[in-house]
Structure 1
Amino acid sequence: MSNQHTIRDKVVLIAGGAKNLGGLIARDFARQGAKAVVIHYNSAATRAAAEATVAEIRAAGAQAVALQADLTRAGAVEKLFADAVAAAGRPDIAINTVGKVLKKPIADTTEAEFDEMSAVNTKSAFFFLKEAGKHVNDNGKIITLVTSLLGAFTPFYASYAGTKAAVEHFTRAAAKEFGARGVSVSAVGPGPMDTPFFYGQEGEDAVAYHKSAAALSPQSKTGLTDIEDVVPLIRHLASDGWWITGQTILINGGYTTK
C-alpha cells in the first residue's frame, strides 16, 4: 500500500481532541505512528484534559500541541488551521469531533438554544470543512463526527439531529469539490456513546432504553456504543479506507439504520 494512505508519519489535526472520543482518536493515531497530532480544545475548562492528552501523545513518540479556539466563529477556525500549520506542518488528516446535544421538545426550544446548536453543529462543521479543504495535503482525509440519530424516527432531538443533518450534504459536496486532489471526505455517526456527552441529557428510563436498543447491546460492556469500537472505523477511513468518500456511515451496533 502506498504511504499516502497510512497514518504513519502523517500530521493530524483533531477538533475536540482533548477527551472522550476525540482524545482516544488522538492517542490511537499517535500509537499508529503519526508524526504529529494537533489537539484542539474549546475553552479553559478543557485545558487540563488537552494537556494530559498531549503528554500521552508525546509518550507514544509523536509530536503534539494543544490549541484553544471557539470554532463557532469562522475566523477562529481559520486561525486554528493557520496555527496548526505553523506548529506541525500542513495536516494530512483533519478530524472534527465537535458537537453539542440538546434533548428538548420543539415547542420548548428557544431561539437562543437553536442558534447555539446551529453554531456548534452546523456552522463550525461547514467552516472546518472549508479550511480543511484549503489546508490538507493532497491525498488527505477529512472526517466529521455526526450522529446515528440521522437514521432515527424519534422526538425531542430535532435541534441536535437537524443541525447535524446538514453535515451529510456538506460531506457530499466537499467530497466532489476536493476529490480531484485525492482528498477523501467522510461523516461518521456513532450511536449513543458511553461518555458524559450522553448522560447529561438523559433520565434513568431513557438511559435504560438506549442501553438495550441496539441489536448488539447484549454484547457491549455498557449496552451503548463504546468509543473503543468507533476508533477503528476512524482509523480505517484515515488510511486503507481512503476510497470511501462522500458517505455518512452509522456505527451503532444496530441501533438505527438508513
Structure 2
Amino acid sequence: MTDTTTPRVALVTGGSGGIGKAVVEKLAADGFAVAVHYAGNQAKADALVEQITANGGRAIAVGGDVADEIAMKEAFDATETAFGGIDVVVNTAGIMLLSPIATLDFAELDRMHRTNIRGAFVVSQLAANRLRAGGALINFSTSVTRTQFPTYGAYVASKAAVESITMILARELRGKDITVNAVAPGPTATPLFLNGKDDAAIQGLAKAVPLERLGQPEDIAETVAFLAGPARWVNGQVIFTNGGLA
C-alpha cells in the first residue's frame, strides 16, 4: 500500500518550461515535493524552485541530458538525497523537429531519436528500479500518433516508440505496485508547439478540436496529476488529452 504519512516525491524531466512547468506547479500545489529537471536552462529551473518554496512547497533543481544515463542517475540520486525517495517520475522532456519524410535531415532524426527514444529508455529504466511501491511513471507521447499530420513523421515515429516502451514496461513491473502510463497531448499552446507556425496554422489546429481552442499546459497537468495520485487502477494506457481531436 502507498504510504500516506509522508509527502510524495516527484521528479519531472523537462520541468522548467512548457507542459513540464505546469506539471511541476500542479504537483507542488497538490503537496508533492518536486525535483525540477532541466537540460540547459538552470536559471528557469531555479526560478521555479524559488516560486514553489516561497509558496511553502519543497523543490530542488536537477540538471542533465535525459539521454545520458550517468547524468540522469545523478539527478535521481539528488532527488532521493533531498527528499528520501521517489514516488512519481514524469518524463515530459522531448524535442520536435518537423519535416516531410522525403526531405528529412537525418541529423535531425538522430537528435530526436537520442532525446525522445533513448531518453525515454534511460528515464524509464531508472524509474523502474528506483520508484517506491505505490509509484507512477508517466511518459509523454503525442496525439499526432493518431491524427497523422504531414511533416510530423519522424517526431511521431519517436513518440510511437515511447508508447511501446510504456506499454511493455507496465507489464514488466508486475507485482511492484508501480503504474506506467503515457499522456498524449493534442495541440497545446507551448513554445515547442507554436514555434514555426503562423497564425493561420495555429487557428486551423485550434478549430480542428471540437472544443475549438488549443489546449493549455494546465489542461495536460491535470491529467498527469490524476495519474500521479488517485489513478491507481489506470495502468499500461495512453491517455489522449486533446479536447476530442480525432
Shift of 1:149: 0.5
Shift of 1:118: 0.5
Q: Which residue of 2 aligns with 1:50?
A: 45
> Are 1:228 and 2:218 counterparts?
yes
* Alignment CA distance shift 1:102-1:28 (3 Å): same
Q: Deviations over 1:95-146 (max 9, x none)?
A: 0101111121112211211100101111101110000011110110110121
Q: Which residue of 1 aligns with 2:205?
A: 210
Aligned residue pairs, count: 246
Which of 20, 24, 40 aligns to 2:37? It is 40
Which of 186, 191, 194 aligns to 1:196? It is 191
Amino acid at match of 2:7: D
TM-score by length of 1: 0.90
1:149-160 paired onto structure 2 within 5 Å: 149-160=144-155
Which of 10, 13, 27 aligns to 1:12? It is 10
Q: Distance in 2 between matches of 1:50 and 1:227?
A: 17
Q: Distance in 1 between matches of 2:220 and 2:105?
A: 33
Q: What value does the CA root-mean-square deviation take over the aligned residues?
A: 1.7
> Are 1:180 and 2:178 counterparts?
no
TM-score by length of 2: 0.94
Q: Which residue of 1 aligns with 2:99?
A: 104
* Alignment CA distance shift 1:99-1:65 (3 Å): same
Q: Deviations over 1:184-217 (max 9, x none)?
A: 0000011111111111132333212112110111
Amino acid at match of 1:158: G
Q: Distance in 2 between matches of 1:166 and 1:27?
A: 28
Q: Which moved more, 1:122-131 or 1:69-78?
A: 69-78
Q: Distance in 1 between matches of 2:6 and 2:156?
A: 34
User: Is the Cα contact below 8 Å between 2:26 and 2:222 reproduced in 1?
Assistant: no
Q: Distance in 2 between matches of 1:116 and 1:207?
A: 25
* Alignment CA distance shift 1:75-1:37 (3 Å): same
Shift of 1:47: 1.6
Q: Distance in 1 between matches of 2:229 and 2:3?
A: 5
Q: Deviations over 1:70-103 (max 9, x none)?
A: 1122222222212222222220011010111112
User: Is the Cα contact below 8 Å between 1:100 and 1:120 reproduced in 2?
Assistant: yes
Q: Distance in 2 between matches of 1:127 and 1:86?
A: 20
> Are 1:69 and 2:53 counterparts?
no
Q: Deviations over 1:11-54 (max 9, x none)?
A: 110001112211111112111112x21010001xx222111110
Shift of 1:59: 2.3
Q: Deviations over 1:143-177 (max 9, x none)?
A: 01211111113211011111010111111111111
Which of 21, 38, 60 aligns to 1:23? It is 21
Q: Distance in 1 between matches of 2:4 and 2:243?
A: 26
Unmatched 5+ stretches in structure 2 = none
* Alignment CA distance shift 1:8-1:23 (3 Å): farther
